[in-house]
Structure formats: C-alpha cells, structure tokens
C-alpha cells in the first residue's frame, strides 16, 4: 500500500502549494518530541502508517496518517488506553 514506486496511475500531480496548518505542525512536533523522549521512533511511526487499512491510507491526508500511527504505536505501548482519545473528543 505504502510502496508506491511504479504503481500504475493516471492521477495528475497536484502541484498547488500548501502551508502547513497549525495542527499539522503540532502533529509533526509531537512525533519529534516522542522520538527524542524514546517513546516512538521513526521506524515505528512508519510501521504505524503502513498498518493503516489500504482504503484509509489512500484517502487520508499526510498528517492524518501520522495521527493514525501515533495512536496505533502508543496504544500498543499502553501509553494510550483503547478509546481514550475518542473519549477525550467526546465520541
């Protein structure tokens, strides 16, 4: 799914510029901080992204994939309890 090289596609490359939103910068910095604190390294981040269901991977934005990976990896490690983030969001 993540291994895209040479995958046939007619989709155009959207070259529009995008300034990172606050939440995207935040997500990036949280990942960096977790890495420096020894809680999640970049290889775990990538594995978490790669564990996304293919359909979600295709449709998620870049930092949505990162959020999925953080939740997955920190969930495995017991830092986040199952459903904890959803409850915080009132879901």
Please, are residues 27 and 63 in contact by the beta-carbon 8 Å criterion?
yes
**Which residues would be at the binding site for another protein (CB under 8 A)?**
2-9, 11-18, 20-30, 32-34, 36-37, 39, 41, 43-44, 46-52, 56, 58-64, 67-68, 70-72, 74-77, 79-80, 82-86, 88-89, 91
Minimum distance of another protein from residue 57's CB (angstroms): 9
Q: What angle do CA 60, 68, 87 make, to 5 degrees?
A: 115
Task: Identify whether the C-beta of residue 79 lies closer than 8 Å to the C-beta of residue 39.
Answer: yes
Provide CB contacts within 8 A for 51, sequence distance 6+: 69, 72
**Smallest gap from residue 19 Cβ to another protein (A):** 10
Q: What's the min distance (Å) between Cβ of 24 and another protein? A: 8
């Amino acid at each position: 799914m993540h291994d895209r090289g040479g995958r046939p596609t007619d989709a155009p490359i959207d070259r529009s510029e995008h300034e990172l939103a606050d939440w995207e910068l935040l997500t990036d910095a949280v990942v960096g901080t977790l890495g420096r604190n020894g809680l999640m390294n970049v290889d775990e981040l990538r594995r978490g992204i790669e564990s996304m269901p293919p359909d979600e991977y295709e449709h998620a934005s870049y930092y949505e994939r990162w959020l999925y990976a953080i939740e997955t990896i920190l969930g495995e490690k017991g830092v986040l309890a199952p459903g904890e983030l959803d409850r915080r969001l009132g879901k």
